[in-house]
Chains A and B, each alone.
Chain A
Amino acid sequence: MAAALCACSLYAQKVTFAPQWTPQAQFAGFYVACEKGFFAEEGLDVEIKHPGINSSVSSMDMLKSGSVQIAGFQLIQGIIARADGARILNVFQTTQESGLCCVSRKPISSPVEMDGLKIGRWKVGFSDFCEMLETYNNIHIDWVPFLNGIGMYVYGAVDATLCYSYSELIALELAIGKIPEDQILFFSDFGYECPEDGLYVMEDYYNSHKDVIDKFIKASKRGWVYARTHRDETLDITWKYIKAANINTNRETQRRMLDAYIALQQNKISGRIDFAPVKPKVFKSIVKALEDVGYITEEVEYNDIIR
């Protein structure tokens, strides 16, 4: 488990934050907030604890266990966890759009064509989406959960694999070359409108440390705005975290990831980057979908989780 400490003072409020994965440009805004002293300026002493690369302990597990106060994960994960009784709250929506896609070994034009295929997916956190996909399209997919990366696709162990446009897709293209566009299926093109990354806290912590959370979010926003306008410097900062955690990646991957991730922060329709909370309508449709596939039994209200 990798951890990084921001500059702090004796009087600073200590906060521990777990991004949802190992160091990469997906979390660049938080690194920038750390390195440029935005957290410190808010009187926060932030420690960033990344989940281990070979570990099954997710950032949500870390949040639930109390080893971190703030954790990053996806909205669906948050809704399911809340439905399962975890008293977690979404306090900040990092992205506005979904970068989820399926990269196939053969041309693919719609989710229906995924029927019967052996498709890789992350072991942590995406079974919900996968079931929604199968249910809504009335198909059966032979899912192959994996912990890490693109290996199974490259070796030919799967017919297709789920990717994030800002992460695995980039890694794949830098590993085996450009993937033809007709082999990539973006789910957002088929009505899957689910914003992904957000920041979550436990309800108790929220109630007792709202000021700390607000400061954390304020500094994080600054970090992301800075990252958007200072890409090279942001990449350098991110690279420091990557090297410290000894992550096997390269700068080109991270450069592309930063660009792709920042693109997801922009609202497709409004074109704005305002880190707005997920819209109630979108939230409701996701909850309904999760109910439909039986992933949640308890209804989750927008106000229960979104702050």
Chain B
Amino acid sequence: MKRIHSFSTRLSLGIVGISSIIFILAIGTAMVLSYTIVAEEAVKSAENLRDASIAKIEKTLLEVEMNVQARAWLVKENLDDEQYLYHITHQIVEENPNIIGSAIAFDKKVFKGKYYFSPYSYQDGEGGILSKQLGSAQYDYFYMDWFQIPFLMGKDCWSEPYFDEGGAQELLSTYSYPIYGENGEVIAVMTADISLDWIEKLLADIKPYPNSNIILVSRSGAFISNSSGIDLSGETVFSTMYYASGADNNVLLLAEALSRGETGAMEYSVGNKVSFAVYAPLSNGWKTYISCDYKDVLSRAARMNIFMILIGLLGVITMFLLSYYMIRRLTKPLSEFSDSVIRIAKGDFDAQLPEIRSEDELKQLRNSFEYMQKSLKDYIRELQVTTSEKQKFISEINIASKIQMSMLPTDFLNTDRVGLYAMVLPAKEVGGDLYDFFIKDNILYFAVGDVSGKGIPASLIMAITRASFRFITRMGLPMNEVMSKMNDALAEGNTTGLFVTLFVGRLDLETGELQYCNGGHNPIVTVTPEGEASFMKPKPNIAAGLFEGFPYVLETCTLRKGSKLVLYTDGVTEAERADKDQFGEQRLLDWATSAVKVCPEAEEACKNLYDTVKQYTDGNEQNDDITIMTIRYN
């Protein structure tokens, strides 16, 4: 079934559709902007965190460095007091709880007879501090990085992270500070070992995002601390790259930038995970970087955007419902109008129109409808009156027609001597054609006429004519006299201008003498006993009713037995087809020539002529009364 969407639904959907497009564009722009801003802010925030963590770490490292450096002069001053040298290391460990061990490793040339000399103090793990001499053939410190590097370079440094072999597998780093002798040569390296566990704790507390990883690596790229929870001991920044499947080239660039001790930020991806990292070196050559997963970074923005989308959707739905409700309310009268119009169309002209309180187009529409309703009502009322009157008139006309027809004699003749048949077919309800006949003293009187005009006036004239024919004929006057009297009767006081073409005749059935007078009527057709048909050529007389006192001429002839007469009005010869071609006199003559033979009786012949004319007009509307009278004389 075809679903019909209401106007309000379509309009509401249209509004919502356009609003949705605007909304999507707005939300899309807002999302892109919010993601960009949040990402930029995240990088800045991560950089701040990075710098803050570097500052915190460096502060602790600096305390250690200061602790060592502050005592360097004491070493030089007390080279001859071994116990004091031990005391110095003891002091360093004692003073700074971060320092778990401290040594003064002397070069082999400083003390004669002492290849290895390195006073060393360390936390014993139970709150005490122990001391010992560190160097030996098994612990050949001269070739260890913590000694050798500052010794060769002549400057302090922090060692690569290492695990405390004897202790609790703590990750340690050693700060080494070279002490110069009188001649500018390095005579010893002073150290402080610190556990690096605090760095992990420190960095864990400042994670910017749940999945962020804050990493501190040594000069060799070894992991000092990482907050990922993954054990990366022994790994380097470069080695871990090979475990990350799907890493893009930026991962390598990041590792290289980090290795070179650069400061910056870089975006990289591993598989589907896109992250950025901010990185910077510490003053001791270590490097830190903070990596942040964009998923984490943008999650807040994403939540906000989801909220925006939900609000937007809610807005669109509300807009749809509201606009639907409002449009429906505004257009409700339209459907009520529709109902009213249907009711009016069904004839309920008192159907109630919807009430419109607003002064707008709908009010105008209602006014128009109301006017139309009133006009229709008035028109229909008038139409009802008119129709009623017309009905009455038609009814009266019908009665008049019946009366008129009843005036015409229907007791047609069909004896051996004479046969007569006639028919009148008015074009309207009542016509102006007439015929009449009667026999008196073996004489047949007959007439055929055609009143000018049609309808009621013509029918009245026809009635007068027929009545005057009967009356005047009975006076026994010659037929021209009859015609004259009828003319006078009709012409007297005739202000309507109506007239009658009339053919009146008197046939002596005994002798065959035909006396007749033609008052402007169509010439009648005579058919001889031999079957030859021809038009009579009567004297020219004018139609009756035109000029009172007109002198009509009488004519006579004698019919031989077996002759036939065909009288007719112009409704026959002027009968038209749709192409306006008329039946005409020639066709009438042709019919008379042929038909009289096959239709010997008057009735047959009369009906046959009518059928022939009807056949000729082929259903075209009859526009004039048709009257035919056929007479057979034997």
**Which residues does A use to contact B, with CB under 8 Å?**
52, 54-57, 118, 123, 144-152, 154-158, 173-177, 246-253
Contact = CB atoms under 8 A, between A and B. Distances in A.
From B220, B243, B259, name the one whose CB has the most chain A CB atoms within 10 angstroms.
B220
Nearest to B161: A248
Contacts of B152: 118, 144, 152, 157-158
Contacts of A253: 239
B307 interface: no
Contacts of B243: 251-252
B138 A157 contact: no
Closest 9 CB pairs of A and B: A151-B145, A175-B220, A252-B239, A147-B143, A157-B152, A250-B239, A250-B235, A174-B238, A250-B234
A163 to B, nearest CB: 14
A156 B145 CA distance: 12
Contacts of A156: 153
10 contacts: A146-B148, A151-B159, A176-B221, A177-B238, A177-B259, A248-B233, A250-B235, A250-B240, A252-B235, A252-B240
B238 A151 contact: no
Nearest to B146: A151
B144 A54 contact: yes
A157 B234 contact: no
Nearest to B241: A252
B187 to A, nearest CB: 18
B146 to A, nearest CB: 9
From B148, B169, B219, name the one whose CB has the most chain A CB atoms within 10 angstroms.
B148
A128 B491 CA distance: 171
Nearest to A146: B143
B143 A175 contact: no
A177 B162 CA distance: 21
A248 B234 contact: yes
B139 interface: yes
A250 B237 CA distance: 11
Nearest to A118: B152
B145 A152 contact: yes
Nearest to B255: A177
A144 B221 contact: no
A231 to B, nearest CB: 14
A155 B153 contact: yes
From A156, A252, A253, name the one whose CB has the most chain B CB atoms within 10 angstroms.
A252
Interface residues of B, number: 35
A57 B255 CA distance: 37
Given A146-B148, A157-B152, A247-B234, A174 B138 contact: no
B239 A56 contact: no
Given A148-B145, A252-B239, A52 B138 contact: yes
Given A157-B152, A246-B163, A175 B144 contact: no
Given A148-B144, A151-B149, A248 B220 contact: no
A109 to B, nearest CB: 24
Contacts of A175: 219-222, 236, 238, 259
B124 interface: no
Contacts of B219: 154-155, 175
Contact of A57 (B138, B149, B162, B234): B138
A147 B144 contact: yes
A170 B243 CA distance: 16
Given A155-B285, A176-B259, 6 more contacts: A56-B138, A152-B149, A154-B219, A176-B220, A177-B256, A177-B259
Interface in B128-180: 137-140, 143-145, 148-149, 152-153, 157, 159-160, 162-163, 165, 169
Contact of B148 (A56, A157, A176, A248): A157
From B162, B165, B238, B285, name the one whose CB has the most chain A CB atoms within 10 angstroms.
B238
Contact of B137 (A56, A144, A147, A174): A56
Contacts, number: 99
B242 interface: yes
A154 to B, nearest CB: 5
A150 B149 CA distance: 11
A145 B152 CA distance: 11
A156 B140 CA distance: 21
A152 B157 CA distance: 11
A155 B159 CA distance: 9
A263 B159 CA distance: 33
Contacts of A248: 162-163, 222, 233-234
Contact of A174 (B148, B162, B165, B239): B239
Given A123-B143, A175-B221, A176-B221, A250 B236 contact: yes
Given A157-B149, A157-B153, A145 B143 contact: yes
A144 B235 CA distance: 26
A177 B255 CA distance: 8
Nearest to B257: A177
Contact of B140 (A56, A149, A157, A247): A56
A142 to B, nearest CB: 10
Contacts of B222: 175, 248
Contacts of B235: 250, 252
A251 B153 CA distance: 32
A139 to B, nearest CB: 20
Contacts of A157: 148-149, 152-153
B157 to A, nearest CB: 6
Nearest to B152: A157
Given A148-B144, A175-B221, A246-B163, A155 B238 contact: no
Interface string B250-262: 0000011001000
Interface string B223-237: 000000000011110
B422 to A, nearest CB: 132
Nearest to A147: B143
Contacts of A250: 234-236, 239-240
Contacts of A246: 163, 165, 169
A172 to B, nearest CB: 9
Contacts of B138: 52, 54-57
Contacts of B236: 174-175, 250
Contacts of A154: 160, 219-220
A156 B153 CA distance: 8
Contacts of B140: 54-56, 123, 147
A179 to B, nearest CB: 12
A145 to B, nearest CB: 6
Contacts of A118: 152
A235 to B, nearest CB: 13
A144 to B, nearest CB: 7
Contacts of B160: 151, 154
Nearest to B285: A155
Contacts of A144: 148, 152
Contacts of A147: 140, 143-144
B6 to A, nearest CB: 71
A24 to B, nearest CB: 11
Contacts of B157: 155
Nearest to A142: B152
Given A56-B138, A146-B143, A147-B140, A173 B148 contact: no
A144 B145 CA distance: 11
A57 B165 CA distance: 18
Nearest to A172: B220
Nearest to B220: A175
A298 to B, nearest CB: 27
Nearest to A149: B145
A280 to B, nearest CB: 36
A159 to B, nearest CB: 11
Nearest to A173: B238
A40 to B, nearest CB: 30
A52 B259 CA distance: 30
Nearest to B217: A175
Nearest to A52: B138
Nearest to B236: A174
B234 A174 contact: no
